[in-house]
Amino acid sequence: MDTDHVADMADPLARSAGLEVYDVELHGNVLRVSLVGQNLSSPDVDALELVSRSLALELDEAQFGGGAYVLELSSPGLERSLRTERHFETAVGEFVTVTTAPGPEGRLRVRGELEALCDGRITIVDQQLGATEIAIGDIEKARTIFEWGPAAKPGKKNPDKRKAKAAATNGAAKSSTGNRSTTDNEASP
């Protein structure tokens, strides 16, 4: 039984829980099924558990992996693998990193915004390379990139903390607890 068959088994179970199968991977005896909610949202833990129990029963009935496997169900995470055309389609407008399979000129590594998907080819805009077009069939590995906001520089004070401290010293930072008003200098009940 291959991963496509597992995806076919998992699909109706996921849909009944309001989820969608994003990907199915098999690494050794570990079967990893990634599920998403609507618009690639994170799946609810209770829904994951429901699908996991149901899928495990079906896989056991079908004697998947000769009965010796580990089933993992989760979301694809912030940095999702991109393997299918559908994956790339959902990632248009996001930052990605792509490594091509070795070719005559070696491997190509591109990091930038996935600008377009057209006829089995993606276009990534990179600051140094500009627009690069790559056939999905030439891609060895690809994933979305989660970019954190800028880190605070060492020695720099957070301007929001300064504003909060100034408001507190002016007596403006009051919170209401029942009928009693407290300031930062008083303990709340």
Residue by residue, pLDDT tens for the chain (189 residues) are 788 999 999 999 999 999 999 999 999 989 999 999 988 888 989 999 999 999 999 999 988 877 688 999 999 988 999 999 999 999 999 999 999 999 888 899 999 999 999 999 999 998 888 999 999 999 999 999 998 877 767 766 555 555 444 444 444 333 333 333 333 333 434
Q: What is the CATH number of domain 85-144?
A: 2.30.30.520
Residue 112: C-alpha distances to residues 52, 76, 80, 97, 124 (Å): 35, 20, 15, 7, 6
Question: 63 phi and psi, to 5 degrees?
Answer: 55, 50
Q: What is the pLDDT of residue 72?
A: 95
The b/e string for 85-105 (b: 16+ C-beta within 10 A; e otherwise) is eebbebbeeebbbbbbeeeee
Q: What is the pLDDT of residue 172?
A: 38
Q: What is the pLDDT of residue 118?
A: 95
**Token representation of residue 35:** 């599920």
Model confidence over 11-34: pLDDT tens digits? 999 999 999 999 999 999 899 999
Model confidence over 105-122: pLDDT tens digits? 889 999 999 999 999 999
**Token representation of residue 167:** 């408001």
Per-domain residue ranges of the chain: 3-74, 85-144
**Token representation of residue 109:** 């590594």
Q: What is the pLDDT of residue 166?
A: 44
Domain 3-74 has CATH 3.90.1150.10: no
